[in-house]
A and B are shown apart, each in its own frame.
Chain A
Amino acid sequence: MKNILEVKNLCKSYGKFDAVKRINFSVAQGEIFALIGPNGAGKSTTLKMVASILQPTDGSIIIDGVDVVREPEAARHKISYLPEEAGAYKNLTGRGYLQFMAGLYAETKADEKKYLERAIEICGLGRRLKDKLGAYSKGMTRKVMLARALMKEPKLAILDEATSGLDVINALEIRDIIKSCAKSGMTVLVSSHNMLEIEYLSDRVAIIDQGKIIETGSIAELKKRHQAENLEVVFLKLRKT
Chain B
Amino acid sequence: MKKFLLLLKKELRELLTPQMIVPFVLIMVVFVVIGKTAGKQVASQASAQDEVLVLDHDTGQLSKIALGSAGQIAKITMAKTTNDAQFVSEMNKRQIALGVIIPADFSMSALNKSNATVKTYSTFKDFSLSASKKSSTLSSVVMMINDAVSNGLIQLNSPETNPIKLKNPVLAANFVSANGKTVEGSSAAVLGYISQQTNFVPVILFIVIVFAAQMIATAVATEKENKTLETLLSLPVSRKTIVSAKMIAAGLVSLLMAGIYMHGMKNFIGGIGSAATGSTTTGGNVSGIVYSLGLSLSATGYLELGVILFLGILLALAMAMILGAFSEDAKSAQSVITPLMVMVMIPYFATLLLDINQLSPLLRGILYAIPFSHIFLAAPNIIPGNTTFVLWGMLYLFVMFLIFVYVAAKIFSSDLILTMKLNFSKKKS
Q: Which residue of B lies closest to A52 (CB)?
A: B234
Total A-B pairs, Cβ < 8 A: 73
A88 to B428, CA, bound (A): 29
Q: Which of A54, A83, A86, A105 contacts B235 (CB 8 A)?
A: A105
- Bound state CA distance, A81 and B428, in angstroms? 27
CB-contact partner of B227 in A83, A105, A158, under 8 A: A83
CB-contacts of A72-118 with B (<8 A):
73, 76-77, 79-89, 91-92, 100-101, 103-105
Known A100-B6, A103-B6; contact A73-B236, beta-carbon cutoff 8 A:
yes
Interface: B189 (CB within 8 A): no
The answer to whether B419 has its CB under 8 Å from any CB of chain A is yes
Contact check, B3 vs A103: say whether CB atoms are below 8 A apart: yes
A103 and B237 alpha carbons, distance in the complex (Å): 11
Q: Mark B1-12, 1 if CB is under 8 A from A, else 0.
A: 011001100100
CA distance A81 to B14 in the complex (A): 22
- Cross-chain contact B231 with A86 (CB below 8 angstroms): yes
| Residues B236 and A55 in contact, CB atoms below 8 Å apart | no
CB-based nearest B residue for A55:
B415
| B230 CB contact (under 8 Å) in A81, A92, A103 | A81
Known contacts A55-B414, A84-B227, A87-B228, A100 near B10 by CB under 8 Å: yes
Interchain CA distance A80-B230 in the complex, whole Å: 11
B231→A81 contact, CB < 8 A: yes
Give Cα distance in the complex from A17 to B428, angstroms.
Answer: 9
Question: Are A89 and B227 within 8 A (Cβ)?
Answer: no
Q: Are A54 and B419 neighbours in the complex by a CB distance under 8 Å?
A: yes
A54 touches which one: B13, B231, B236, B418 (CB < 8 A)?
B418
Contact A14 B234 (CB under 8 A): no
Interface residues on A, range: 20 to 34
Q: Does B357 contact A (CB under 8 A)?
A: no
A48 within 8 A of B: yes
Q: Does A51 contact B (CB under 8 A)?
A: yes
Complex Cα distance A101/B236, Å? 11
CA distance A48 to B227 in the complex (A): 12
Q: Which of chain A's residues have a CB closer than 8 A to the CB of B225?
A: 87
Contact of B418 among A53, A79, A100, A101 (CB under 8 A): A53
Q: A81-B230, A87-B228 are in contact. Are A104 and B418 (CB under 8 A)?
A: no
Interface residues contributed by chain B, number (CB under 8 Å) = 25
CB of B233 within 8 A of chain A?
Answer: yes
Question: Could you tell me the distance between the alpha carbons of A71 and B14 in the complex, rounded to whole angstroms?
Answer: 31
- A73 in contact with B234 given A85-B227, A91-B14 (CB within 8 Å): no
CA distance A43 to B418 in the complex (A): 16
B interface footprint on A14-32 (CB within 8 Å = 1, 0 otherwise): 1101000000000000000
Residues of A contacting B6 in the complex (Cβ-Cβ under 8 angstroms): 100, 103-104
- Is the CB of B238 closer than 8 A to any CB of chain A? yes
The answer on a CB contact under 8 Å between B228 and A88 is yes
Tell me, in angstroms, the Cα distance from A148 to B231 when the chains sit together.
10
Binary flags per residue of B234-268, CB closer than 8 Å to A gives 1, else 0: 11111000000000000000000000000000000
Please report the C-alpha to C-alpha distance between residue A162 and residue B419 in the assembled complex, in whole angstroms.
Answer: 22
Name A175-200 residues within 8 Å CB distance of B. none
User: Is A76 in contact with B235, judged by CB distance below 8 angstroms?
Assistant: yes
Q: B233 and A73: CB pair below 8 A? A: no
Inside 8 A of B236's CB, which chain A residues have their CB?
A: 73, 76-77, 104-105
A48 near B418 with CB under 8 A, answer yes
Contact A104 B234 (CB under 8 A): no
- Complex Cα gap A51–B233 (Å): 9
User: Cβ of B17 < 8 Å from any Cβ of A?
Assistant: yes
Chain B residues within 8 Å of A158, by CB: 234
Residues of A close to B231: CB separation below 8 A: 81-83, 86, 148
Given the complex, which residues of B lie within 8 Å of A79, measured CB to CB?
234
The answer to whether A53 touches B233 (Cβ under 8 A) is yes
Cβ contact of B226, chosen from A81, A82, A87, cutoff 8 A = A87
Which residues does chain A contribute within 8 Å of B235, judged by CB atoms?
A: 76, 101, 104-105
Contact for B419 among A14, A52, A76, CB less than 8 A? A14
Q: Could you tell me which residues of chain A, from 49 to 71, have a CB within 8 Å of some CB in chain B? A: 51-55
Identify which of B225, B230, B235, B238 gathers the most chain A CB atoms within 10 Å of its CB: B230
Assess whether B14 is in contact with A88, with CB atoms less than 8 Å apart: no
A88 touches B226 (CB 8 A): yes
Q: Chain A residues near B14 (CB, 8 Å)?
A: 89, 91
Query: How distant is the Cα of A100 from the Cα of B3 in the complex, in angstroms?
Result: 9
Query: Chain A residue with minimal CB distance to B417?
Result: A53
- Considering the chains assembled together, what is the distance between the CA atoms of A15 and B428 in angstroms? 10
Establish whether residues A89 and B415, one from each chain, have CB atoms under 8 Å apart when the complex forms. Answer: no
Q: Which residues of B contact A105 (CB under 8 A)?
A: 235-236
Which residues of chain B have C-beta atoms less than 8 A from A14's C-beta?
419, 428
Report whether B228 and A80 are in contact in the complex, using a CB–CB cutoff of 8 Å.
no
Closest to B3 in A: A104
B2, B14, B418 interface centre (most CB from chain A within 10 Å):
B2
A binding-site residues for B, Cβ under 8 Å: 14-15, 17, 48, 51-55, 73, 76-77, 79-89, 91-92, 100-101, 103-105, 148, 158
7 new A-B contacts at CB < 8 Å, known A77-B236, A87-B225, A91-B14: A14-B419, A14-B428, A54-B415, A76-B234, A86-B228, A87-B226, A158-B234
Q: Which residues of B contact A (CB under 8 A)?
A: 2-3, 6-7, 10, 13-14, 17, 225-228, 230-231, 233-238, 414-415, 418-419, 428
Interchain residue pairs A-B with the least CB separation, the first 3: A87-B226, A81-B234, A83-B230
A-B contacts, 17 of them at CB < 8 A, read A48-B230, A48-B415, A54-B419, A55-B415, A76-B234, A77-B236, A83-B231, A85-B227, A86-B226, A86-B227, A87-B227, A88-B226, A100-B6, A100-B10, A104-B3, A104-B237, A105-B235
